[in-house]
Amino acid sequence: MVSEQQVQLGQQVPDFTLPSSSGEDISLSQFRGQKVIIYFYPKDSTPACTQQACDFRDSSSFFAAKGAAVIGISADDLKSHQKFAGKHSLPFPLLADTEKEVSRLFGVWQLKKMYGREFEGIVRSTFLIDEQGILVKEWRKVKVGGHVDEVLHAISET
């Protein structure tokens, strides 16, 4: 369980635990001592989300060389995550935030509009957490094209 207060830049990110596509529960605290890139995305197997996941996949060796772990989070269930991760050979875990608690913690579960209708969903966003668990950079309302390059650049500077 996480608090309802939203994380802020420069502050410690509260620990959380979610089920992952690898079949185990993953906690943020497991990554203490290394950088963590958490990217929130709206839905498995949609074109933009697939492109984003594959972009992170294709750069995963660079992130690893910089001591950074990548984690994807959406509100999809584990079965959907496992199918998506398997189909695209994703080398990082996808966490199932079906209760939207972590999405709310990061302020990415919001009212959205598409084709004239309103609905709640994840606003594509990425967060960089340092080795001590401090939120050091955020990208909100991300456009997929070129985004992973921006994250790579930020990792290189930290």
Residue range 88-123, pLDDT digits in tens: 999 999 999 999 999 999 999 988 887 888 888 999
Please report, to the nearest 10 degrees, the dihedral formed by the alpha carbons of residues 80, 83, 89, 90 taken in order: 20
Question: Is the overall model pTM greater than 0.85, yes or no?
Answer: yes
> Catalytic: 54?
no
Residue 74 contacts residue 90 (beta carbons within 8 Å): no
Residue range 9-23, pLDDT digits in tens: 999 999 999 999 999
First to last CA, the chain: 30
Beta bridge partners of 68: 35
Question: Which of 49, 75, 90, 96 is an active site residue?
Answer: 49
Q: Report the distance separating Cα 61 and Cα 39, nearest Å.
A: 17
